[in-house]
């Protein structure tokens, strides 16, 4: 005869059988909320897997990311490491031998598990440099699974051991039990990193930090004293009208690389690209901000000279530009409509830098500095006084200096 209690038990879903990784699952679920970076979580997870009695020797986590330079990233942990090793993955990796025939390649083609017995005759197994490398390190078994994120995104996690005979069935069951929680934990961190990367890409590192900290209300901002640099490419309208579209895009990218990399290297922040121009600031709160701006200009001019030399070899005319530099107080914050904001700087000092950039064509000097800026650097750099000039929108002429770099 069946009791009522026994009848109820039949309708209760069976609990997952306990595994060696239950403690790791609990830690991932309940104790990682204060850890910001997935590489730190991943490394500690691997150590905890070992402590749970699973003979893990090597593990990797491969994730696709949205970044202007990189397709993805690989986090690698090996026995004895306290931190994961991070490697960026280029967009063209899918055409290279390191990807073709790899577990990542198989996952991309739809498989749901790659298991390789590294102890057997290599002639009987998969052919790829990765497996040869693992055999050389004494590894005996390797398994890779997709890690599923929302909206069908698939990443990859792998585990390997040097235990004779490879992983036991109980080890595999325990590792599989980690996958859903690792997927959730990693997706949160990757999306947080993605949000930061996208903001840094489109508004710059300093503005992105402010936005992520909550500075998103229209009209809010701070007054910042800064050196302001505005640069503009000459004859761009003529170039864009006469050159093929792809050539114009390549030209702009090369030009912006030449100008932007030195700015970032010397502590400046590019706030926006405006067609063929850019606006950057060097906050005076940073030591030697004005000197660093001129060092950036010097390196940018050298990069532009090298770019023009390369373009000359293809029959292209040299690219010319103008740079206006001023210093002053600017309002730095959110400006725009109720639904579309721009994090930028405004104020008379920005307008002055813009007018000075326009004067470079009239005066025939590619880099013009205001007296206010020049007084902050005149002992370190050789400047040429070019006299006082009327500036549109300002009542009094201002004294300008040319910088040859």
Q: Give the pLDDT confidence score for residue 104 in this predicted structure.
A: 87
Q: Give the pLDDT confidence score for residue 5 in this predicted structure.
A: 41
281/223 Cα distance (integer angstroms): 13
Is the model's pLDDT at 12 over the cut of 60? no
Q: 225 by DSSP, 3-state: which?
A: strand
Q: To the nearest whole percent, how much of the chain has pLDDT over 90?
A: 53
Token digits for 57?
């020797």
Q: Give the pLDDT confidence score for residue 79 in this predicted structure.
A: 96
pLDDT confidence band for 4 (50 / 70 / 90) = very low
Q: What is the pLDDT of residues 251-293, one digit of tens each?
A: 888 999 999 999 999 999 898 888 889 999 999 999 899 999 9
Helix axis angle, 169-203 to 38-51, nearest 10°: 170
Sheet holding 72-78, edge to edge: 85-89, 72-78, 58-64, 154-161, 141-148, 114-117
pLDDT confidence band for 152 (50 / 70 / 90) = confident
Q: What is the pLDDT of residues 105-140, one digit of tens each?
A: 888 888 999 999 999 998 888 889 999 999 999 999
Q: What is the pLDDT of residues 310-359, one digit of tens each?
A: 888 777 778 889 999 999 999 877 778 877 777 788 889 999 999 999 99
Q: What is the pLDDT of residues 16-41, one digit of tens each?
A: 678 889 999 999 999 999 998 899 99
- What backbone phi and psi angles, to 5 degrees, belong to 388? -90, 140
Domains of the chain (ranges plus CATH)? 18-202 (3.30.450.40), 204-403 (3.30.70.1230)
Q: What is the pLDDT of residues 159-215, one digit of tens each?
A: 999 999 999 999 999 999 999 999 999 999 888 776 666 666 666 776 767 776 666
**Full DSSP string of 283-330:** ETTSTTHHHHHHHHHHHHHHHHHHHHHHHHTTTPPPP-EEEEEEEEEE
Q: Strand 154-161 to strand 141-148: parallel, antiparallel, or no bridges (unpaired)?
A: antiparallel
Q: Give the pLDDT confidence score for residue 393 in this predicted structure.
A: 81
Answer whether 363's CB lies under 8 Å from 369's CB: no
């Amino acid at each position: 005869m069946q009791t009522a209690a026994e009848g109820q038990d039949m309708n209760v879903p069976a609990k997952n059988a306990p595994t060696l990784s239950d403690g790791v699952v609990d830690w991932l679920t309940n104790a990682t909320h204060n850890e910001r970076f997935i590489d730190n979580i991943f490394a500690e997870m691997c150590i905890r897997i070992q402590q749970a009695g699973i003979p893990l020797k090597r593990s990797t986590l491969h994730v696709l990311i949205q970044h202007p330079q990189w397709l993805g990233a690989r986090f690698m942990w090996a026995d004895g490491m306290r931190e994961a090793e991070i490697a960026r993955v280029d967009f063209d990796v899918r055409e290279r031998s390191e990807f073709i025939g790899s577990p990542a390649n198989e996952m991309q083609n739809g498989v749901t598990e790659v298991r390789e017995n590294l102890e057997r005759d290599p002639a009987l197994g998969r052919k790829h440099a990765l497996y040869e490398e693992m055999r050389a390190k004494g590894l005996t078994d390797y398994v890779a699974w997709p890690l599923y994120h929302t909206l069908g995104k698939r990443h990859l996690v792998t585990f390997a051991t040097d235990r004779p005979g490879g992983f036991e069935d109980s080890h595999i069951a325990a590792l599989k039990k980690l996958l859903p929680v690792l997927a959730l934990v990693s997706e949160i961190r990757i999306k947080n990193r993605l949000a930061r990367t996208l903001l840094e890409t489109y508004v710059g590192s300093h503005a992105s930090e402010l936005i992520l900290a909550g500075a998103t209300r229209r009209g809010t901002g701070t007054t910042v004293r800064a050196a302001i640099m505005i640069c503009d490419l000459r004859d761009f309208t003529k170039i864009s009208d006469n050159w093929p579209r792809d050539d114009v895009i390549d030209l702009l990218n090369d030009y912006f690389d030449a100008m932007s990399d030195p700015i970032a290297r010397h502590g400046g922040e590019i706030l926006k690209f405006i067609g063929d121009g850019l606006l950057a600031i060097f906050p005076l709160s940073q030591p030697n901000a004005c000197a660093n701006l001129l060092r950036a200009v010097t390196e940018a001019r050298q990069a532009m000279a090298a770019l023009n030399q390369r373009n000359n070899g293809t029959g292209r005319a040299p690219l010319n530009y103008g740079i206006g530099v001023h210093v002053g107080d600017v309002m730095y914050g959110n400006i725009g409509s109720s639904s579309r904001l721009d994090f930028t700087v405004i104020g008379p000092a920005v307008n002055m830098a813009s007018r000075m950039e326009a004067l470079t064509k009239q005066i025939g000097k590619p880099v013009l500095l205001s007296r206010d800026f020049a007084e902050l650097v005149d002992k370190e750099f050789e400047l040429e006084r070019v006299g006082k000039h009327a500036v549109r929108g300002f009542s009094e002429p201002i004294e300008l200096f040319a910088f040859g770099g």
